[in-house]
Amino acid sequence: MGDRLVDAYLEVVAARLRPNSVLAVAYDLKVFFTVVDLDPLDVRRRDVIEFIRAQRTGSTDGNVIAIDDAVGMALSTVRRRLSSLSGFYAHLVALDEMDHNPVQRGMPVRSPVTRGRRVVPLVRPVRHLPQILDTDEVPRLLGALRTSRDRAMVEAMLLGGLRRCEVLGLRHGDVRWGERRLFIADGKGGHQRLVPISPRFFMTLRAYLDHERPEETVTDRVFVVLKGPHRGQPLTPKGLEEIMTGARARAGLTHGTCHELRHTCFTRLREAGMALEALQAQAGHRSISATQIYLHLANDWLAGEYRRAAEAIDAQARLGRTGRAS
């Protein structure tokens, strides 16, 4: 990025995190210093507050006040950028380049019990329910796919809950045909797991390998380009996105991203009664809290819990009336 301190920090980040995470941190820092336009050592807390305002209003004019949440960056984006910035300045503090981190943890809140300790976040987190495909949209999307390769990739996400990078990273040795499982060698955060998946996926995968995969392919990656100058080379994220975009257009869908397929998978598994702990293992979540979102997406779970509680309350009320009458 052309700054000694920032470049040195990115080297440290590159030694600890995965390439995509390094790119995200680099981009976040670039955005901050483009907006603030100061030497890293000259940044103060007021500059961070001004950055938050500029990101949320979409304006660098200090007189502009946002009245529409749709203006500017999403809260989740601002929080991620602040996290990247906080990590950078924590690094400078550890090296004695600065005596404090200008990205404070939050704003103080008056409290008679924990005065001086309790804070609220600079940017409050907002939890949105992820979007999923309806039961009638799934066959439309599958029917719009033109090859067995494309269907196998979509089924890996839709039936097994794989991430896009996990699908593209599959190698022949990761496919456990006899066990009907896939070995995820390089999941999010570098974590590995074994994922059971429907026999339907293996049937589609076999059709692709037997009839579509180029014979001259030398890579051991499962999913490769079928046509053109890159024939036989591993399929890229851009290539998969082009496939999904075309399929959505042919199916007449306005949504249906790779990650929405993953959300759809886990929502349907939960609706079918899969235990939350098993769902966590299938998804590769490090925390159960990340998996609990599917409780709210599953159509029958909340309604069923409510009905059981309401019936118990009604039963207690009837017993109370009976007791008073006697």
At residue 292, the 3 state secondary structure works out as coil
What tens digit of pLDDT does each residue of 237-294 get? 999 999 999 999 999 999 999 999 999 999 999 888 899 999 999 999 988 888 888 8
Confidence band, pLDDT 50/70/90 cuts, at residue 120: low
Largest CA distance in the chain: 88
Tokens 């074994």 correspond to 194
Distances (CA, A) of 97 to 4, 25, 100, 101: 12, 20, 9, 11
Which residues make beta-bridge pairs with 221? 171
What tens digit of pLDDT does each residue of 131-155 get? 899 999 999 999 999 999 999 999 9
Kindly report the average pLDDT of the chain as a whole number.
87
Two domains, one topology: 4-121 and 137-300:
no
CA 58 – CA 52 distance, rounded (Å): 10
pLDDT at 299: 63
pLDDT at 195: 95
Q: Which of 10-24, 165-179, 261-275 tops mean pLDDT?
A: 165-179
Would you list the DSSP string of 42-86?
A: G--HHHHHHHHHHHHHT---TT-----TTSSS-HHHHHHHHHHHH
pLDDT at 300: 67
CA 275 – CA 265 distance, rounded (Å): 14
Report H helices in the chain. 4-16, 19-36, 45-57, 75-94, 137-143, 148-160, 164-168, 199-211, 237-251, 258-271, 276-283, 288-291, 293-297, 299-325
Q: Would you say residue 233 has pLDDT above 90?
A: yes
Domain range 137-300, CATH architecture: Orthogonal Bundle (1.10)
The structure tokens listed for 267 are: 């929502």
Contact at 8 Å (CB) between 263 and 131?
A: yes
pLDDT at 84: 94
CA 294 – CA 290 distance, rounded (Å): 9
253: number of Cβ within 10 Å: 17
Contact at 8 Å (CB) between 101 and 93?
A: yes
Topology of domain 4-121 in CATH is: DNA polymerase; domain 1 (1.10.150)
What tens digit of pLDDT does each residue of 60-112 get? 554 444 444 546 788 888 889 999 999 999 999 999 999 999 998 765 544 45
Q: What percent of the chain has pLDDT over 90?
A: 64
Which residues make beta-bridge pairs with 309? none
What tens digit of pLDDT does each residue of 288-321 get? 888 888 877 776 666 777 778 888 888 887 776 6
Q: Which amino acid is at 86?
A: S
Residue 103 is given by DSSP the state S
pLDDT at 285: 92
Domain ranges of the chain: 4-121, 137-300
User: What are the phi and psi torsion angles at 44 (to 5°)?
Assistant: -125, 175
Which residues make beta-bridge pairs with 119? 108
Contact at 8 Å (CB) between 159 and 265?
A: yes
CA 89 – CA 41 distance, rounded (Å): 9
The count of residues in the chain is: 326
Please report, to the nearest 10 degrees, the dihedral formed by the alpha carbons of residues 287, 291, 293, 296 taken in order.
-140
116: number of Cβ within 10 Å: 9
